[in-house]
Structure 1
């Protein structure tokens, strides 16, 4: 990774919109790309896809936004015509290669970002650019929450990992009526999570503490599990309640062995989720702009882009060695401030 000077982006197409980027979040996908564990990215592509900014230029056919508008960017275009798109699975558009921001299309770790008017949304004056930068990760969370059908509204719900997605899942599932227990083994990140969860949700250092402290039962079965680490299926599978749902959202390669008879006999569901589905980005936009999900409270660090190595290190990613280690800081969502040249905060 390196900072490079590139030609300035201009609104050359009729529906083109160029955004002067203000804030962009570091995503787990970015960490995986840097560490080599997510090899889908095109070599040389500019990373970054969780972005907000101010419209700089518009093509002649653009009517919905204008220069000076504060916007959030939907970074995941889709063709709208392939079978996946026509069956409302735009996150798996077969034509997205070359369009996916920060993966196969130059992303938002940059001064400017080029998109089209369909994929920018004007922010109300009362919503900060920092808060709106969490719209895309919340959109991905809502895609997963749509798939979770709890067997009861009193479901014992567990979220493993108190990073940005873990906390956003806590907020989204609470809006669905559940009261999840969030489990985080890193003391610093656990401390950050306290006080940033919705009413009824709590954070714990272990599954044993969560079972006893949250549900009053040291043998509490697991009705709903969201695993943000992508590594716990084999360990937690025997603890799932009949009719339970296990969701994995991490992007780390790992193979599991589970008992297929139990899958049917205990009516279990093992599912995965990634990216935004039809309508989930606008749904996330509404939840943040209405204040129902206080996204800005999940921002732990704001770092100038020039200090990108520090930003990645805060999340346990060493760029020099291309390695990932558990974070030892009270970190959650780390944003790059593209407009700043000062020291990190």
Structure 2
């Protein structure tokens, strides 16, 4: 193995990116070195570059949706061998806070996020905690496996854990891109009915119908509220997912809820939406729930669903760009060129 590798580097002071030669990291106790096969480009990566998310390091390698193969084991690592196909968890719990000590590591109070607090996987190799790896079944393509580590697992957590969508509950999804597409698919998988997709682009609305939505409506339609009411028998939505995070999408989704309905915020921005008059909010017993991330076990569940043919991610990979062209991939996602679900980087 060579001493250096190619890696993307984000410089916080200038908000610029570059692909450079850097040392290949050495796995420490409990760690493994993973040879990266694919890594997704996520909107949160853009948020670091444009300053929406404050930088935690002056220089960092981005990318937190990675699949690959085990290249080297650190001291004390058991249960893994070189060549194993894996997905890398996108965060490291501190294992010391009160939540971690009681076993609730998914709600770690000092969770370190990959590509923000430590180097990510827009690189030829990346380090990972052995306990955070998920084995990839042989019949699951590594490009599809990569997006399980956020683009699919975050929607899974939103639908199953935070939203607790039940069979027969009506669901609305605002923004049917990288996250919203998978919210639609997973809501259908757990038995939601009907599922209503809301977006502003006709092509995206057509795609939403193709992946499992029962109805697809334009967010700008002045009759949107009436159409949602009509599609739900006059009841409105049991659960709404805002996969965009703008004030307008948040408030539109909230106002489409039935009595006692739940709004789950998945997308993020710097906007500060309103819940409106507290008298009305309380009278209608609405709930607003913030969602972030997933539990590592969710990746294994999703890998099994893909392996068994229950979850089809064949449409989800919109494009693959080489590492040296990561800047072009970032630009394509930022401008929504071709309405991508996920663009991957291949080192």
Normalised to the residue count of structure 2, the TM-score between the two structures is 0.84
Task: Name 1:299's counterpart in structure 2.
Answer: 317
Task: Name 1:69's counterpart in structure 2.
Answer: 84
CA deviations 1:302-345 (Å, max 9, x no partner) are: 1111111221122125xxxxxxxxx242311111111xxxxxxx
Tell me if the contact between 1:69 and 1:122 (Cα under 8 Å) persists in the aligned partners. yes
CA deviations 1:250-294 (Å, max 9, x no partner) are: 120112232212222111111110012363333333333333222
Alpha-carbon offset, residue 106 of structure 1: 0.3
- 1:187 is aligned, of 202, 212, 215, to 202
Instruction: Map 1:298-337 to 2 at 5 A.
Output: 298-316=316-334, 327-337=336-346
Alpha-carbon offset, residue 236 of structure 1: 3.8
Instruction: Map 1:26-105 to 2 at 5 A.
Output: 26-86=41-101, 89-97=104-112, 100-105=113-118
Tell me if the contact between 2:317 and 2:343 (Cα under 8 Å) persists in the aligned partners. yes
Give distance in 1, aligned partners of 2:273 and 2:225: 25
Task: Name 2:192's counterpart in structure 1.
Answer: 178
Give distance in 1, aligned partners of 2:141 and 2:225: 34
Normalised to the residue count of structure 1, the TM-score between the two structures is 0.84
Task: Name 2:265's counterpart in structure 1.
Answer: 248
SS of corresponding position for 2:255: helix
Tell me if the contact between 1:142 and 1:172 (Cα under 8 Å) persists in the aligned partners. yes
Alpha-carbon offset, residue 240 of structure 1: 2.1
Give distance in 1, aligned partners of 2:130 and 2:177: 31
Tell me if the contact between 1:85 and 1:93 (Cα under 8 Å) persists in the aligned partners. yes
Give distance in 1, aligned partners of 2:238 and 2:302: 25
Tell me if the contact between 2:262 and 2:286 (Cα under 8 Å) persists in the aligned partners. yes
Aligned length, in residue pairs: 323
What is the root-mean-square deviation in Å for CA atoms of aligned residues? 2.5
Q: Which stretch shows the higher mean deviation, 15-24 or 185-194?
A: 185-194
Task: Name 2:236's counterpart in structure 1.
Answer: 221
Give distance in 1, aligned partners of 2:29 and 2:118: 19
Between the two structures, name the one with larger relative contact order (CA 8 Å, sep ≥ 6). Answer: 1
Give distance in 1, aligned partners of 2:20 and 2:286: 49
CA deviations 1:114-139 (Å, max 9, x no partner) are: 12321222222111101101211222
CA deviations 1:48-71 (Å, max 9, x no partner) are: 010001111112422211111221
Task: Name 2:146's counterpart in structure 1.
Answer: 133
SS of corresponding position for 2:18: coil
Q: Which stretch shows the higher mean deviation, 74-83 or 203-212?
A: 203-212
Instruction: Map 1:4-23 to 2 at 5 A.
Output: 4-11=20-27, 13-23=28-38
